[in-house]
Structure 1
Amino acid sequence: MAIIDAIEAIFLAFLAVIANLFAGMIAGVLLVKEIVFKVFGLNKPVPHPRSILITGASSGIGAELAVRYAKPRTRLILVARNVTRLEKVKKQCEEKGATVEIASLDMSDSKAVKSYMEEVDKRVNIDLVVANAGISMTPPKEGELFSDAAQRLFDVNVFGVFHTIAPIMEGMRHRGRGQVAIMSSLSGIFSHPNLSYYGASKSALVAFSRHFRPVAAEQGIRLTCICPGFVETPLVQEMRDAGGKLPGFAVMDVKAAAKVITKGLERDRPVIIFPAIQYWPVHMTSTMPPFIQAFWNYMALKYPLAGSRQS
């Protein structure tokens, strides 16, 4: 045990040195980013959307985004499974002057999702769709095939997103304008071993957003991928309840998260990643040699994360 502890200490010290080097590069990277955005006109403000559809809007980031966007002459279409919680969010938004419509949908029901999205876009002409609904899952239950667990998760996190945005993007294409926001996760960049299924589903969204953004732009559609770290939401609380160890400083307030997202969407950011205290270590680890990633996984397994929930 003493030898293992010593090895762990050496690796942690090594990673601390690397982290300090990366920290010295952050300011330069951010400065270059701002210059590039300004020179190539990538920082142009997006007109305020008047009709907004948000999935997973009954709690967490989805609910907070709805409240933040709520104002007079703005129409919100809020989608989730839990009608009781949706009604509460609806009331909050209406108190701020917004016109609100709610719908109860199971995002794994592809036929129902596609049908509703086609109908509502024809009726409302959606300016902004935020595909936020998703679930987090533990490894397969005893006696369950990993493919069964993965199927449930991908039905919601990946195909649920595609079935949400595809019908609306078709309408946006004909109108020549629109904005799409896809909620991925920092786990889509590098995931905790116990969240391998979740990380794989979010990686699919990161890859899709990266490659499809220029295609969408040619049709007048702005596409953004959102990659939050741990945010104070029911999903994170469920991880805690299941025994996950999440230090308070590493969890971002949901109101602050919603503010970061709306500001990023206003500036048409290709990717919105936050908070920095979580992003840089994850990004750094994802670019490290395999033996360092193996050590990260070894350490991460000491701090299990778990949970399964659909908003």
Structure 2
Amino acid sequence: MNAGTQRRFEGRVTVVTGAAGALGRACAASLANEGAKLVLFDRDPNGLAETAAICPGSETVVGDVRYAADVKRAAEAARERFGPVESLVAAAGIAGPSKKAIEVEEDEFDLLFDVNVKGSWLAAKYLIPQMRELGRGSVVLFSSAAGLRGSPVLSVYSATKGAVTLLTKSLALNHATENIRVNCVCPGTIESPMVRLSIADAGDATAQSAREDLQKSMHPMQRFGLPSEVVGAVLYLLSDEASFTTGVALPIDGGRLA
């Protein structure tokens, strides 16, 4: 821990889904640095182990957010190891194919909604009840700038993130009187392996360069964001500093939606 680092999450039991991904890992590392007791969940065992290595004392659960049994197992593991969960970061997600909506195949469509929407819902379904036991809790789901405005490139991804945005608002209303806050972050294009795969999907080097330039041009800052720039917002929304904030969909997008 760096000298002077805040310890806003000291002893707070927190589950991070998608913990092997760039954003999930960055959130987990910062939460660990601020004293959280972490349960890290992902379907990638190697990536999960790499995240756990920078989060001392964390518990890991290999599983898929699409399946209720796996998410329930993570919730039970958290309770058994640390006690009831107080915070949730639902960072698991996929971008899917770069196609117009009507060109997406049915199996691709189903996978996107299963991971991005159902996975977020299952995490809330199995972890919010533990927050009820404590009489407090905070949830941050991961939407996207594409969940606030349509995307010509990632059309079905945009639809799933729009669903996550409204799931956030509905959950916030469901649990507002229970001292459980639910918010989501809406990143623009953030430098990550998922973004690089999306760019690679454009085709040859010329097409890839054109897609990267196009995506950067959508942001007035003319660059991609960094995982660290999303983490600060996530930790703020999780923290007691945001105690009167719920139902918010917070863009972190370099001005894209300004």
Give the counterpart of 1:138 among 97, 107, 127: 97
Q: Does 1:230 align with 2:189?
A: yes
**In structure 1, what is the Cα distance between the partners aligned to 2:38 and 2:238?**
16
Q: Which moved more, 1:270-279 or 1:79-88?
A: 270-279
Q: What's the counterpart of residue 80 of structure 1?
A: 42
Give the counterpart of 1:169 among 119, 122, 128: 128
User: Does the 8 A contact of 1:229 with 1:279 survive in 2?
Assistant: no
More helix by share: 1
User: Does the 8 A contact of 1:186 with 1:273 survive in 2?
Assistant: yes
Q: Could you list the runs of 4 or more consecutive aligned residues of structure 1 that deviate by over 3 angstroms after TM superposition? A: none
User: Does the 8 A contact of 2:188 with 2:256 survive in 1?
Assistant: yes
User: Does the 8 A contact of 2:140 with 2:237 survive in 1?
Assistant: no
Give the counterpart of 2:30 among 68, 71, 74: 68
261 and 246 in structure 1: CA distance in 2 versus 1, 3 angstrom threshold: farther
**In structure 1, what is the Cα distance between the partners aligned to 2:87 and 2:25?**
15
Q: What's the counterpart of residue 204 of structure 1?
A: 163
The CA deviation at 1:139 is: 5.7
Q: What's the counterpart of residue 273 of structure 1?
A: 251
73 and 210 in structure 1: CA distance in 2 versus 1, 3 angstrom threshold: closer
Q: Secondary structure at the match of 1:93?
A: coil
- Aligned AA for 1:254? P
Q: TM-score scaled by structure 2?
A: 0.80
Cα RMSD of the aligned pairs, angstroms, is 2.4
**In structure 2, what is the Cα distance between the partners aligned to 1:241 and 1:139?**
10
**In structure 1, what is the Cα distance between the partners aligned to 2:186 and 2:91?**
11
**In structure 2, what is the Cα distance between the partners aligned to 1:145 and 1:214?**
33
276 and 194 in structure 1: CA distance in 2 versus 1, 3 angstrom threshold: closer
What's the CA shift string for 1:143-185, capped at 9, x where partnerless?
Answer: x973322111111111111111111101212321111111111
User: Does the 8 A contact of 2:86 with 2:130 survive in 1?
Assistant: no
**In structure 2, what is the Cα distance between the partners aligned to 1:85 and 1:119?**
19
The CA deviation at 1:48 is: 2.8
User: Does the 8 A contact of 1:122 with 1:171 survive in 2?
Assistant: no
User: Does the 8 A contact of 1:261 with 1:272 survive in 2?
Assistant: no
User: Does the 8 A contact of 2:97 with 2:104 survive in 1?
Assistant: no
The CA deviation at 1:114 is: 2.6
**In structure 1, what is the Cα distance between the partners aligned to 2:28 and 2:73?**
22
Q: What's the counterpart of residue 179 of structure 1?
A: 138
How many residue pairs end up in the alignment? 229
- Aligned AA for 2:38? L
138 and 202 in structure 1: CA distance in 2 versus 1, 3 angstrom threshold: same
What's the CA shift string for 1:100-155, capped at 9, x where partnerless?
Answer: 11111122223222343245346521111111101111167xxx973322111111
Q: What's the counterpart of residue 34 of structure 1?
A: none
Q: What's the counterpart of residue 105 of structure 1?
A: 63
170 and 251 in structure 1: CA distance in 2 versus 1, 3 angstrom threshold: same
User: Does the 8 A contact of 1:231 with 1:251 survive in 2?
Assistant: yes
User: Does the 8 A contact of 1:67 with 1:89 survive in 2?
Assistant: yes
Greater radius of gyration (CA): 1
Q: Which moved more, 1:72-81 or 1:225-234?
A: 72-81
What's the CA shift string for 1:238-280, capped at 9, x where partnerless?
Answer: 1122225124533001112212322343333423211242232
Q: What's the counterpart of residue 198 of structure 2?
A: 239
**In structure 1, what is the Cα distance between the partners aligned to 2:98 and 2:224?**
23
109 and 89 in structure 1: CA distance in 2 versus 1, 3 angstrom threshold: same
User: Does the 8 A contact of 1:250 with 1:278 survive in 2?
Assistant: no
72 and 226 in structure 1: CA distance in 2 versus 1, 3 angstrom threshold: closer
Q: Which runs of 5+ in 2 are unaligned?
A: 1-7, 203-207, 217-221
Q: What's the counterpart of residue 205 of structure 2?
A: none
Q: What's the counterpart of residue 233 of structure 2?
A: 260
**In structure 1, what is the Cα distance between the partners aligned to 2:79 and 2:125?**
11
